[in-house]
Amino acid sequence: MTDTWTAPAQRIVSLLPSATEIVYALGLADRLVGVTHECDFPETARVKPRLTASALPAAANSAEIDRHVRASIHAGSSLYALDSALLERLAPDLIVTQELCVVCAVSYEIVARAAKRVRSDPRVVSLEPSSLEDVFANIETVGTLTGTERAARDVVAGLRARLTALATHVTGRPRPRTLVLEWTDPPMSGGHWTPGLVEFAGGEPVLANPGANSQVIEWDAIAAAAPEAIVVAPCGFDLEAALRAIAELEPNPVWRTLRASETTRIFAMDGNAYVNRPGPRLVDTAELFATALHGEPFGAGGMGGARRPDVRDARALRRVPNSPL
């Protein structure tokens, strides 16, 4: 570790949308000098210099995207391009990246190689959360790296207070069996922090993979699990894209049976903003899950908790009407 790494970071590059949101939550917008092409929250993050771009071709549907991703990984190709020349010009002293998922962001190896060529000798820190508790620890880590430990503690305390309010709200209610689909073709169930968010929301996660990558599941297994609620929140998709992914499932006989069931409720959700990003808004996600599962707006969804102007409810969650076979 160089001597400059002992001082609080003053020029931060975030190569994760979730890390960008953490930096803003800690009041460090003025120190953030570069972000990714996917950093879109808060709105002012969009005007920061962008260091990455997607290397995938445009795809028509979920199955095609899945094939492109698998082919790229098999070939050893990166799914993202990093602008090394811009990184050099920005002269960061801290780069925040990840090794958790090769699909989610530019690979750690590419970042590390580029950082070695930067004359400002930046520290490269990888955030690897697998649960909501890990996310809280990451917020405190960024606080330590930037000399904003008190702000980090305050942010985490506020998030924990909201979870306590949510627990009180759902106590004693039925706990519907809940399936979160993080991809639709092939179907993939929620992993890492997502099952825990369902539990915070007062649901019972099914076919989930807590603390680990989401996994491909079979439609027969979905039918056998008989979920009472299904949240479709594909990785990287906003609400409208999630609704299109649901529409693509209509020819599937298992899906049509679930859609026709009077005991199964189906919701589309903005997975890109609220499920796939391990940042402060995961608590919003738990509140939105509670809104879906219990049919009563809460927290990020509206009544029952304080409405926050940064949460655009109509663009976050929508129930899909049941339809007969």
Handedness of CA 161, 163, 164, 165 (dihedral sign): positive
Q: Which residue has the higher pLDDT, 146 or 309?
A: 146
Same structural domain, 225 and 92: no
Same structural domain, 197 and 120: no
Same structural domain, 305 and 220: yes
Domain presence at residue 59: yes
Confidence of residue 38 (pLDDT cuts 50, 70, 90): very high
Answer yes or no: is pLDDT of 210 > 80.
Answer: yes
Q: What is the pLDDT of residue 61?
A: 73
Same structural domain, 168 and 72: no
How far does the chain reach from its first CA to its final CA, in angstroms?
63
Domain presence at residue 142: no
Q: Which two tokens stand for residue 275?
A: 């499920």
Give the range of the structural domain holding residue 286, as residue numbers without chain letter: 155-320
pTM for this model (two decimals): 0.89
Q: Which residue in 216, 208, 222, 206 sits closest to 254, CA to CA?
A: 222
Same structural domain, 109 and 202: no
Q: What is the pLDDT of residue 308?
A: 46
Domain presence at residue 248: yes
Answer yes or no: is pLDDT of 22 > 80.
Answer: yes
Same structural domain, 103 and 234: no
Same structural domain, 121 and 168: no
Confidence of residue 310 (pLDDT cuts 50, 70, 90): very low
Total domain count for the chain?
2
Domain presence at residue 172: yes
Mean pLDDT of 172-187: 96
- Coil/strand/helix, residue 12: strand
Sequence-ordered list of residues with C-beta below 8 angstroms from that of 164, at least 6 positions apart, any chain = none
**What CATH number does the domain containing 19 carry?**
3.40.50.1980
Distance, in Å, from the CA atom of 188 to the CA atom of 204, rounded to the nearest integer, reads: 17
Sequence-ordered list of residues with C-beta below 8 angstroms from that of 159, at least 6 positions apart, any chain = 136, 280, 283
Same structural domain, 258 and 304: yes
Q: What is the pLDDT of residue 307?
A: 44
Domain presence at residue 225: yes
Same structural domain, 169 and 46: no
